[in-house]
Amino acid sequence: MHHINDSKSVNIALLTISDTRNFEDDRSGQTIKRLLETKDYSIIDYQIKKDEIGEIQNSIKSWVDNPRIEAIILNGGTGFSPRDVTYEAVTELLDKQMDGFGELFRMLSYEEVGPKALFSRAVAGSIGATAIYALPGSTNAVTLALEKLILPTLPHFAAELVKK
């Protein structure tokens, strides 16, 4: 494994997808922010958008076009209710999908919540040189994803995306 860039700080944009949350009660977004800041990552932007494909994709596209932003983390809207459209919004834009992320996330979730883990459509991948992760909106789910999957690998992922 390559570990040369593993201590590099990563600049991140954070998007919570919810029809009901605001910055005061966005527990999952605040949890992601806190966990990232413990590793000295920089939060370049933090937004809350409704469960609307166009709104989600507009935020993603503007962040992908921002050279300061190396990774995007979304939370919420990855389930099966009619309003859950994050998976569709993200996968339509991905250049490459990291299949193992969703698989491993659901496996780890299964250990905590049992077969209900099947209902998560968590996904990760890249758009150009930007890493992107779409997580469920529960605080437990974002904590699991950050601690077990994202924080241990994000610097490596970001470095891989800018390799020549």
Q: Going from the N-terminus, what domains does the chain have, and what CATH number goes with each?
A: 11-161 (3.40.980.10)
- C-alpha–C-alpha distance, residues 94 and 90, integer Å: 6
Say how many CA atoms lie within 13 Å of 23 toward its Cβ. Answer: 5
Beta-strand pair 130-135/71-75: parallel
Give the predicted TM-score (pTM) of the model: 0.94
* pLDDT < 70 positions in the chain: 1-7
> Tens of pLDDT along 23-49?
999 999 999 999 999 988 999 999 999
Q: What is the pLDDT of residue 164?
A: 84
Q: What is the pLDDT of residue 8?
A: 76
- C-alpha–C-alpha distance, residues 112 and 83, integer Å: 25
- Nearest C-alpha neighbor of 10 from the set 146, 110, 143: 146
- Nearest C-alpha neighbor of 61 from the set 85, 21, 26, 90: 90
